[in-house]
Structure 1
């Protein structure tokens, strides 16, 4: 924005959307945001639940998957396919 603030309205969908659920946040609202992005061109959405140490992975044409084992490799969108990240590594970064 011209005034230096952060924009709150975006004209295009991101390629990848990542939401981190906070304790006071409504999971339904966050999920709706991810589904809205997928409907408009986003390749992949992650909903990270730090309290449960789980990652819900949303894709436009597949069922939602849940990753909650530390050794599980998280799926990546096509443009980040070379990135390898396990559930344990992700939560190691988030919970430091």
Structure 2
């Protein structure tokens, strides 16, 4: 009786592969392609990035990157929004951000798509927290709630007018209601 030998792909090998659209992530030796972002997801992602960057970029406090590959530890993930404190962005000699971010974000935000595994997404948030991330959000547009993760604490569920925790030093007052109000767009008459 002979067994088939399968070769395990390493993180280094994965990072040499061409990028996919939508992005693929490397988790526990497995390549998992994220679902294609749809309307609500894209709208929330853009508004979150813009709001965070409006509050933090000009003062060089932090920056929110959409769909940025972050490779650290034994994973390569692509959070919907990856926020880095300015001092942790590994700028190159020209003062530009690098193509490869080999560190975890300070704040990871995921917007749950109907076809995504909630536990897999939570697994990525928890992995980030284990590697130095300070804050994680899981936004569920379907039930209008945001599950917030912080190191060493139980997750907290935020809904309605609950004020959401954000990274320290970012002057941004935001509630679950405000986040989901961004889904409403005026109808042109």
TM-score interval, normalised by the smaller of the two chains: 0.7 to 0.9
Aligned-partner Cα distance in 2 for 1:27–1:7: 20
- Structure 1: any 5+ residue segments left out of the alignment? none
State the partner residue of 1:42: 133
Indicate the SS of the match to 2:161: coil
Q: Please, what TM-score do these two structures have when normalized by structure 2?
A: 0.44
Aligned-partner Cα distance in 2 for 1:84–1:59: 18
Aligned-partner Cα distance in 2 for 1:29–1:72: 26
Question: Against the structure 1 CA distance between its residues 73 and 36, is the aligned structure 2 distance closer, same or farther, given a 3 Å change threshold?
Answer: same
1:16 lines up with 2:88 in the alignment: no
Question: How far apart are residue 61 of structure 1 and its match?
Answer: 1.7
- Structure 2: any 5+ residue segments left out of the alignment? 1-18, 20-66, 72-101
Aligned-partner Cα distance in 2 for 1:95–1:33: 29
Aligned-partner Cα distance in 1 for 2:120–2:163: 26
State the partner residue of 1:74: 164
Q: Please, what TM-score do these two structures have when normalized by structure 1?
A: 0.84
Length, aligned pairs only: 90
State the partner residue of 2:150: 59
Runs of 4+ deviating beyond 3 Å: 5-9
Aligned-partner Cα distance in 1 for 2:70–2:144: 30
